[in-house]
């Protein structure tokens, strides 16, 4: 499935569901090591509640990162820190890609996508959708 060609105008949708207590357990067990491996500084600033972390917000962001990966369909692993979930000027969640994630997005023609986050009780989920417009490659000079 990963090797499938990109169809111009194709809609790709990724979704993921995360068990919030698992994120809370990772924070409890690994602390800053876990947080710095998965989340950017801006994400951590957004998800802080006083001196503690909002496991629900972090879980929703982790779900979003996984949903974006399902849209990108990378051939090789890339860091989830290259996928940042922030807030746009309207207060809605937004995805910002850097590094290998941005390179992969460019390669498949993903220029913009939209993300939705939700959490309720023990679960957080995210959906990411994007329309692909693969870049055109110039034809070779027949000389």
On whether residue 4 sits in a domain, the answer given is no
* Euclidean distance between the first and the last CA atom of the chain, given in angstroms as a whole number: 37
Predicted confidence (pLDDT) per residue in 26-85, tens digit = 999 999 999 999 999 999 999 987 778 899 999 999 999 999 999 999 888 899 999 999
C-alpha to C-alpha distance for 58 and 20, rounded to whole angstroms: 8
Q: If you average pLDDT over every residue of the chain, what do you get?
A: 90
On whether residue 81 sits in a domain, the answer given is yes
Q: Between helices 55-72 and 20-30, what is the axis angle to 10°?
A: 110
Expressed as residue numbers, the domain containing 63 is 11-132
Predicted confidence (pLDDT) per residue in 77-89, tens digit = 899 999 999 999 9
Do the bridges between strand 52-53 and strand 83-87 make them parallel or antiparallel, or are there none, so unpaired? unpaired
- Residue 11 reports pLDDT greater than 80: yes
- The number of domains in the chain is 1
CATH for 103: 3.90.470.20
pTM for this one?
Answer: 0.86
On whether residue 140 sits in a domain, the answer given is no
């Amino acid at each position: 499935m990963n090797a499938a060609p990109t169809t111009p105008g194709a809609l790709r949708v990724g979704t993921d569901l995360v068990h919030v207590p698992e994120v809370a357990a990772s924070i409890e067990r690994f602390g800053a090591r876990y947080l710095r491996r998965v989340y950017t500084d801006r994400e951590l600033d957004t998800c802080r509640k006083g001196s503690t972390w909002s496991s629900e917000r972090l879980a929703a962001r982790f779900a979003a990162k996984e949903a974006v990966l399902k849209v990108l369909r990378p051939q090789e692993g890339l860091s989830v820190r290259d996928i940042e979930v922030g807030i746009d000027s309207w207060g809605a969640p937004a995805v910002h890609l850097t590094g290998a994630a941005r390179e992969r997005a460019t390669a498949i023609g993903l220029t913009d996508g939209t993300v939705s986050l939700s959490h309720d009780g023990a679960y957080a989920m995210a959906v990411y959708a994007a329309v692909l417009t693969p870049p055109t490659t110039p034809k070779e000079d027949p000389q």
